[in-house]
Amino acid sequence: MTTNPGLADVARRAGVSAATASRVLSGRGPSSPASRDAVRQAAAELGYVPHPVARRLARRSGTRIVFAVRDARPDILRDPFVTRAAAAMAAATEPEGLGTALLRLPLDAAAELDRLATDRSVAALVLAGHDRALMDRLPAALRSRTATIGAGGSDVDSAAGIGALLRHLHRNGRRRIALIAGPRWLAASRAPLAAYATFLRETGSPLRVVHGDFTSARGRAATREILRRWPGTDAIATVSDATAVGVLQALSAAGIRVPDDLAVTGFDDSPLAEAIHPGLSTATHPVELIAVSAVRAALGAPSPGRLFPSRPIFRATCGGGPAPALTGGA
């Protein structure tokens, strides 16, 4: 018989009292920032489901969580981000007798959303790849049981992670830094672009942006475009490790040395980032914690701390050695 984690388990893992854990999870009463961070992380790691959610699950009619990913790519469900998130959701909901289903949504997802709204097997919906138009189109029957991963929902502080990498590149002498951003249609693409814009204002660096789609193939093509349009570029920052791998491949094919001639950074800190040579400088992306937070929100739980921190990981591709100790969120 599986035992669901309780408040005491969360408090024990976080190293705080049960009263403190209760205050953090309910959002009522005082608690320190350190305690809040520890409790939120412990709750996500344990897959803790508060009692209001347990009551909702007891009276639900659905039997599964649907994790729907909106994307133009037909193979998006094989993306490492998607598989990591889905596995975390399944681990969190299986003790409650809920299955987890994966679904790809096209960019125009109106028909699919209508079908989900009438599907009695759907207990809750978690959306990724959404934008405002999609959320405005969400059927009324789904609104109270839908949560999102990305902008406006459970998300990573990508602006902080990308910003820290950009500043590190600049501290180490890089002055012409290009960014391979996310797709134009994706709401989550805005935060890295905002971090890049802030960096440009602070440093007076020139604007060099092309858009990608989180794949290595696009990383290769985008790199060739950057080298053609801005031949003096001395660093390329990306918003995914997969894209960065494509950048490295294109630079190698062009005879450009990394990091001697041109520095490269990724985002995600995937296992690949450490395994490749040279090791990829990147920033952390706590996908599992984000996924569990979104599931809890879809099932009606309070979901405090829905913006998860990202910290830079410095390896060989950015050069310059370790950065100075960071303070705050970046």
pLDDT band at 326 (very low <50, low <70, confident <90, very high): very low
Structural domain count of the chain: 3
pLDDT tens, position by position, 81-98: 999 999 999 999 887 788
CA distance 244 to 262: 12
Residue 327 in domain: no
Query: Is residue 167 domain-shared with residue 235, that is, in the same domain?
Result: yes
Query: Is residue 136 domain-shared with residue 80, that is, in the same domain?
Result: yes
Mean per-residue pLDDT of the chain = 89
pLDDT of residue 145: 93
Reply yes or no on whether the pLDDT at 127 is more than 90.
yes
Query: Is residue 164 domain-shared with residue 193, that is, in the same domain?
Result: yes
Q: Which residues contact 145 (CB under 8 A, 6 or more apart)?
A: 122, 123, 124, 125, 298, 299, 300
Residue 301 in domain: yes
Residue 268's region, left for phi above 0, alpha for psi from -120 to 50, else beta, is: left
Query: Is residue 162 domain-shared with residue 262, that is, in the same domain?
Result: yes
| Residues 99, 137, 44, 191, CA torsion sign | positive
Query: Is residue 279 domain-shared with residue 296, that is, in the same domain?
Result: no
Query: Is residue 30 domain-shared with residue 103, that is, in the same domain?
Result: no
Residue 41 in domain: yes
pLDDT band at 62 (very low <50, low <70, confident <90, very high): confident
Burial of 257 (0-12, 13-18, 19+ CB in 10 A): exposed
Query: Is residue 62 domain-shared with residue 151, that is, in the same domain?
Result: yes
Query: Is residue 187 domain-shared with residue 204, that is, in the same domain?
Result: yes
What's the pTM? 0.78
pLDDT of residue 97: 80
pLDDT tens, position by position, 287-301: 999 999 999 999 887
Residue 1 in domain: no
CATH for 89: 3.40.50.2300
CA distance 153 to 297: 9
Query: Is residue 150 domain-shared with residue 165, that is, in the same domain?
Result: no
Query: Is residue 102 domain-shared with residue 129, that is, in the same domain?
Result: yes
Residue 325 in domain: no
Query: Is residue 147 domain-shared with residue 66, that is, in the same domain?
Result: yes
CA distance 233 to 231: 6
Residue 171 in domain: yes
Residue 17 in domain: yes
pLDDT of residue 23: 77
CA distance 66 to 99: 8
In the numeric block, which tokens belong to residue 112?
A: 């699919």
pLDDT of residue 61: 62
Residue 93 in domain: yes
Which structural domain range is residue 83 located in? Answer: 51-155+288-308
Q: Which phi and psi angles does 178 have, rounded to 5°?
A: -95, 150
Query: Is residue 164 domain-shared with residue 271, that is, in the same domain?
Result: yes
pLDDT tens, position by position, 182-221: 999 998 999 999 999 999 999 999 999 999 999 999 999 9
pLDDT tens, position by position, 220-271: 999 999 999 999 999 999 999 999 999 999 999 999 999 999 999 999 999 9
